[in-house]
Amino acid sequence: MEHPVRGESSTSNSTDASKWKYDVFLSFAGDDTRLKFTSQLDEAFKRSGIKTFLDDVDLERGRDISQNLFQAIEDSLCAVVVLSENYANSKWCLNELQKILESRKTLQRQVFPIFYDVDPADVRKQTKSFGNALVEHEKKFGKNTTKMQNWRDALFEISNLSGWDTRGK
């Protein structure tokens, strides 16, 4: 069977998927989901023939991590963002999210959020763990910096995309 995600379909489309190195970039907070949900999701993708970028496996050794991650985002057809309780604690996750959403706008990438045991409204309104994480980041970077505003905007934007809520609501 042809795999249109990888561009093997005989019909041409505007996304010319044959140029993608990965089908899916997985963005997640490692401590929350790596050994549970994300590893199972990655295995399910692999069983279906979908090539994923998973940071601990696919990072090129000896290269700058952030540039490596950003290149992988650009080299992926789409991104799945697993938003968990500690996602916003990680500046790496927030920077990834910002780049993923930038790629959505500039490169027409698809983005699929999964709200893993968190309320999408808490992401949108930046309350509970998301609000607490941003307060901690503000102590380091300043409350009214461009970086903080970009992270706030990214969390708001991702929460307004149609996705999945693992809480079953």
Length of the chain equals 169
Name the H helices within 61-107.
65-74, 91-106
| Catalytic residue status for 74 | no
Distance, in Å, from the CA atom of 169 to the CA atom of 163, rounded to the nearest integer, reads 12
Nearest to 83 by CA among 114, 49, 51, 124: 114
Catalytic residue among 8, 60, 74, 96: 96
96 close to 64: Cβ distance less than 8 angstroms = no
Distance, in Å, from the CA atom of 111 to the CA atom of 115, rounded to the nearest integer, reads 13
> Known catalytic residues?
96
